[in-house]
Amino acid sequence: MGLDEAASKPHEKLGAVLAAEMDAVNELIRTRMASKHAPRIPEVTAHLVEAGGKRLRPMLTLAAAKMCGYDGPYHVHLAATVEFIHTATLLHDDVVDESAQRRGRPTANLLWDNKSSVLVGDYLFSRSFQLMTETGSLDVLRILSNASATIAEGEVLQLTAAQDLTTSEDTYLQVVRGKTAALFSAATEVGGVIADAPKDHVQALYDFGDALGVSFQIVDDLLDYWGSDATGKNIGDDFRERKMSLPLIKALAKADDTEHDFWKRTIAKGDQRDGDLEHALELLNKHGALEDTRAEALAWSDKAKAALATLPQSEIRDLLIDIADYVVARVN
């Protein structure tokens, strides 16, 4: 899929197909975000919710449920659940990373403070948990509670792997599964489960979400070295935060002694000087680390599409396939 089709934005097309349900999700999010006693809560979250994002995760839940013929009300609850978990994670990430920008806007913890980010994140987690309990499905609760644990575990693993030059691609994949893919796969899986879809369909939905999430995160990590201002990301954030992302792991694997010393100083020891980011980019290009990372993202996108191919053809299925293409089109 080329840039021309990418420009037509399949997630927007999917958003149009799911417009009525997405309106219901947004309404539910607004209602449940409110707090009678603590007006600070919607103030903090409105900042994130208005910034928008693509609402990709809740759309995945709605799409999965509809593809499986669901006609009850609870896919809307689950979509809102997934978005609440995502937003809570962002709020806690902002504390953790001391990052100055999120989606091109100042992060909540600069506008407010670390305290509000931690506690409002906790509030959204609790709200998500209330929402999923309302569905009355213990299967759904099991999937989403497991996903929550995997997310937190992945974030902690990322923390301990940061600055560690011996981090393997396996460990990187485990971090990515935690911080991103776990919520994608839970989002698609619960859509199938709430619709009472056959086991192999639920498995296909899980596999699709998992591979899409991995692909999505690899692209995100790639854009941190490759990106433009249009993505709202600061180039080199991961380098400055000394994160062991895939491009770095690949460049390290091919580093000579001088290069290894450079990575040791900048990443392991955190002694970064003017021109270091530029030199890091040179090394990444020299060893084809960005191209190799891109190839992995494409392979995961292909896996995602292959999983969906086992499901009956439908307009929504085809738009999800287009989304798997679009995710990697960002680095075409």
Q: Which of 221, 290, 287 is nearest to 255 (CA)?
A: 287
Binding residue (CB under 8 A) for a copy of itself from 30, 40, 264, 317: 40
Question: Would you give the end-to-end CA distance of the chain in angstroms?
Answer: 9
Binding residue (CB under 8 A) for a copy of itself from 16, 106, 126, 200: 126
Binding residue (CB under 8 A) for a copy of itself from 6, 110, 119, 299: 119
- Binding of residue 63 to a copy of itself (CB under 8 A): no
- Binding of residue 31 to a copy of itself (CB under 8 A): no
Binding residue (CB under 8 A) for a copy of itself from 8, 130, 166, 228: 130
Taking the complex as a whole, the smallest distance from the CB of residue 153 to a copy of itself amounts, in Å, to 5
Q: What are phi and psi of 262, to 5 degrees?
A: -60, -50
Label residue 160 exposed, middle or buried (CB < 10 Å: 0-12, 13-18, 19+): exposed
- Binding of residue 133 to a copy of itself (CB under 8 A): yes
3-state secondary structure of 24: helix
Binding residue (CB under 8 A) for a copy of itself from 47, 127, 243, 294: 127
Binding residue (CB under 8 A) for a copy of itself from 101, 114, 163, 203: 114
- Binding of residue 181 to a copy of itself (CB under 8 A): no
Output the furthest CA–CA distance in the chain (Å, rounded).
Answer: 61
Q: Which of 54, 321, 79 is nearest to 211 (CA)?
A: 321
Binding residue (CB under 8 A) for a copy of itself from 38, 100, 111, 253: 38
Q: Which is nearer to a copy of itself, 1 or 152 (CB)?
A: 152
Taking the complex as a whole, the smallest distance from the CB of residue 252 to a copy of itself amounts, in Å, to 21
Binding residue (CB under 8 A) for a copy of itself from 95, 193, 255, 283: 95
- Binding of residue 116 to a copy of itself (CB under 8 A): yes
Q: Which is nearer to a copy of itself, 15 or 121 (CB)?
A: 121
- Binding of residue 102 to a copy of itself (CB under 8 A): no
- 113-119 CB contacts, 8 Å cutoff, 24+ apart: 116/40, 116/44, 117/44, 117/91, 117/92, 118/91, 118/92
Binding residue (CB under 8 A) for a copy of itself from 120, 284, 289, 298: 120
Rounded to whole angstroms, the Cα distance separating 230 from 173 reads: 27
Label residue 105 exposed, middle or buried (CB < 10 Å: 0-12, 13-18, 19+): middle
Which distant-in-sequence residues (6+ apart) come within 8 Å of 303 by Cβ? 207, 211, 215
Q: What are phi and psi of 235, to 5 degrees?
A: -60, 135
- Binding of residue 231 to a copy of itself (CB under 8 A): no
Taking the complex as a whole, the smallest distance from the CB of residue 207 to a copy of itself amounts, in Å, to 21
Please count the helices (runs of H) and the strands (runs of E) in the chain: 18, 2
What are the residues binding a copy of itself (CB under 8 A)?
Answer: 35, 37-41, 92, 95-96, 114-116, 118-120, 122-123, 125-127, 129-130, 133, 136, 138, 141-142, 145-146, 148-149, 151-157, 159-160, 174, 178
